[in-house]
A and B are shown apart, each in its own frame.
Chain A
Amino acid sequence: MSASGDLIEGDPPYIDPVRAAALHRRSLRSSVVATVSTVVFLIAVGFATVNAPGWASVRYWFFNGSAFRASVGSVASAFLLNVKIFLVAEVFILVLSLVVALIRVSTAPVLMPLRFVATVFTDVFRGTPTLLVVYLLGFGMPALQIKGLPNDPVIWGTIALVLSYTAYVAEVFRAGIRSIHPSQRAAARSLGLNVSQTMRFVVLPQAVRRIAPPLLNDFVSLQKDTALVSVLGPIEALRAAEIYSASKFNYTAIVVAALLFIAVTIPLARFTDWLSDRQERRDRGTAR
């Protein structure tokens, strides 16, 4: 093989055939090992489950075909309420958490009271279990009997989720904003951009790109926490499943609800993975 000769633009890269064959064998072997080990693992788990002494009754109580068919309709239509709560809450969380984060990173002396409020807000709502916030707002607010305040537990449950998640997501935003190197700010300011233009055009766009994966992760978590609203009484998926279970003495409906939650979180989870992978490739500078 010759290492000399004129370099031609667009020459294919040269790989030693012996090395190429070895690399190919190695990757083939990796695939085979991965497949075999997965199959063996699944068979082992399946075997252990099916041969457990109580499997017959577990199958009857949790994986009952006729109960599945009977409950899937009511649980699935109740699940629409979860989807609605999620979609509404998500919009409010994004907007409010950005506002809280911007207040917390601001430096203007006149905003000091707001900074104080924002800090207390995040401390309190991040520290309180979401379930307690749902209870407190869902039962407490209507009990105040203030005219004009809604009584609908769905609304209060959604507000509780918004408050709780806003505190989390605001911290994600804040971390993203703080992760942008000060030299970027210096460059923007040196061009005459003011503080808010610098934030809007230079810092935030970079911060948002960086925090997209953790942000989506919080939203995956929010999707399933919509079930917490069930403690206030509205018939969403978990509640519907409980009602079915209680009336028919069979827990299959709860498995149905679980499957529905998994089904909607998987696309978001895969999207998050895809986004992080793309971020990583981009950070290595091999893709745009």
Chain B
Amino acid sequence: MTALLHVNGVHKAFGTNPVLRGLEVSLEPHEVVALIGSSGSGKSTLLRCVNGLESIDAGRIMLGDVEVSALDADLDVVRRRVGIVFQAYNLFPHMSVLANVTLAPIRVLRHSRKQAEGASLELLARLGLAEKARQYPDQLSGGQQQRVAIARALAMQPELLLLDEVTSALDPELVGEVLDVIRDLKAGGMTILMATHEMAFAREVADRVCFLDRGRVLESGPPGEIFENPAEPRTREFLDRFLSG
């Protein structure tokens, strides 16, 4: 089987501060991989590099047989195939929920308004947001906004979905509704690479967990193994700190 995403020896620094240092990770189609690790370990940066929001300094990122990291890569094309959902939702505040979701299908995929709205309403209904379509982002709760952001990314029918700590900005009581959506996506066969601090959730839905430490994947494996019996002392230390705190 050929990997859908292959990140190979990627380096990335912000100024003099190296964030990714020879990072390796790959995803098979339909695989859900959780990135865990402390703040600053490079989780978000990796996700932003994968869809070209950040350029890399060295290494290669392959999406199927297209090199995302090529200097002449057409990032607009790459981004049509990779969806990303941000911690702070980043919805467009001047547009209704429906307009947020249909913007890219209409402008990028050149779907007709009618076609795009039909598909988006269906998508919103699936995410339990049918009656919110005509409302504006600031009229919604955080959990609803984040579900709209997921719908917006899904509307482009991406092959790969990147989730950047999508529940970190939410009140605890709103986290569940967003995690439910992700569970459904996995059940539907979506390939997902997610940075998360929700250890229990990572353990439940991820096929594989990668522990990032100082810009590298220090350890990776099935969730049971990583959480129960980590090989690396630093992984154990992180989990102890995280699960006890």
Contacts and interface: CB of A to CB of B under 8 A. Distances in A.
Does A pair with B? yes
Interface of A: 183-184, 186-194, 197, 201-202, 205-206, 209, 285, 288
Contact of A194 (B76, B136, B139, B153): B76
A143 B26 CA distance: 73
Contact of B103 (A186, A194, A201, A206): A201
B175 to A, nearest CB: 21
B108 A192 contact: yes
B211 interface: no
Contact of A190 (B79, B91, B94): B79
A197 B109 CA distance: 13
Q: Which 4 A-B pairs rank lowest in CB-CB distance, beginning with the nearest?
A: A187-B90, A191-B104, A192-B80, A192-B108
A192 B83 CA distance: 9
A191 B53 contact: no
Nearest to A206: B94
Interface residues of B, number: 28
Given A184-B90, A197-B107, A201-B103, 5 more contacts: A187-B86, A189-B75, A191-B108, A192-B76, A193-B104
Contacts of A288: 136, 139
B78 to A, nearest CB: 9
Contact of A205 (B82, B86, B94, B107): B94
B152 interface: yes
A192 B79 contact: yes
Contacts of B104: 191-193
A17 to B, nearest CB: 33
Contacts of B107: 193, 197, 201
Contacts of B82: 190
B51 interface: yes
B85 to A, nearest CB: 9
Interface in B53-81: 53, 75-77, 79-80
B77 to A, nearest CB: 8
Nearest to B105: A191
Where chain A touches its partner, the secondary structure class is: helix
Contacts of A184: 90, 92
B90 A191 contact: no
B116 to A, nearest CB: 13
Interface string B44-57: 00001001010000
Nearest to B135: A288
A186 B86 contact: yes
A192 B92 CA distance: 15
A190 B92 contact: no
B130 interface: no
A212 to B, nearest CB: 13
A44 B179 CA distance: 69
A266 B209 CA distance: 65
B209 to A, nearest CB: 25
14 contacts: A187-B86, A187-B90, A188-B103, A189-B79, A190-B51, A190-B82, A191-B83, A192-B77, A193-B104, A193-B107, A193-B108, A197-B107, A206-B92, A288-B139
B84 A190 contact: yes
A193 B80 CA distance: 9
A190 B91 CA distance: 12
B88 interface: yes
Contacts of A193: 76, 103-104, 107-108
A206 B139 CA distance: 17
A257 B104 CA distance: 53
Nearest to A181: B90
A189 B153 contact: no
A154 to B, nearest CB: 39
